[in-house]
Amino acid sequence: MKRIGVLLVALLLAQGFASQVRELVLFPFAEGAAVQPTEEFNVGVEMLNALYAQLKEIPNLYVVRYRETNPSIQRALEENRLRRDRLTPPFNQREADGTWRAARIGAVMGANLAFAGRIEEFSYNPETREVTLTVSGELIDVATNEVLLSVAETGRGRLGRDETDPNLARIAAVAQVAERIGTAMRERLAPAAEQPIKAEPRKQPDRRRERAIASIFVVVIGAILGASDL
């Protein structure tokens, strides 16, 4: 019986913890006209990986990468609840009824939150040996279709004096943007820190009151004892 009680307590604690964890779907980035394509560096994949690494460190947040092969999405396609042409970027785009595409797919996947964005600029200047990367995106509440956070961050990476591989600068720019977006989302989603409890000053005992109570106690005891002798 005691073991059953322990198991019930553990189950309740697990359910309480699960109710605090929110699931976020991270969608692939769309690419704008100002993105310089490079065969040796896939900026969309690199940006997604770097941002995923940032977001998975946020407390009580479970991050899932969007994949078209997800069983819930495949089931929705079979049941005509989703259209296949809606399963490619851009995902931070509103449908005809005003619903964010990312929110609609996120609801199918059973998620609470969705993040979808766009790579606005990605370029390398061989003269300055500098990479410029600009990324925008929206953090969306799946249930309410509300935009909780809009971001637009620019990062730059520059080759060092003895460096010749432009990918080093590209990696630096991606890391910079991912860190900035991750910080903004962490501030928006992480639970607020508990306010420190202000310690109240300890009250000094009232000696006069203590002596008065003691005197009354002695008088009462004496009266009781005197009455018992009668």
- What is the number of structural domains in the chain? 1
Reported confidence tier of residue 197, pLDDT bands at 50, 70, 90: very low
Q: Full-prediction pTM beyond 0.85? A: no
Annotate 153-173 with b (16+ C-beta within 10 A) or e (fewer): bebebebeeeeeebbebbbbb
- What CATH number does residue 180 fall under? 3.40.50.10610
Q: Is 177 within the bounds of a domain?
A: yes
Tell me if 129 is assigned to some domain: yes
Residue range 42-69, pLDDT digits in tens: 999 999 999 999 999 999 999 999 999 9
The Cα–Cα gap between 136 and 30 comes to 10
What's the burial of 90, exposed, middle or buried (CB within 10 Å: 0-12/13-18/19+)?
A: middle
Residue 105 in domain? yes
Residue 197 belongs to some domain of the structure: no
Q: At what angle do helices 101-108 and 71-78 cross, to 10 degrees?
A: 100
Domain assignment present for residue 4? The answer is no
For residue 37, give its domain range. Answer: 20-189
Alpha-carbon gap, residue 133 to 124, rounded angstroms: 9
In a domain, 151, yes or no: yes
14 domain residue, yes or no = no
Per-residue model confidence as pLDDT tens digits over 118-144: 999 999 999 999 999 999 999 999 999
Q: 194 lies in a domain?
A: no
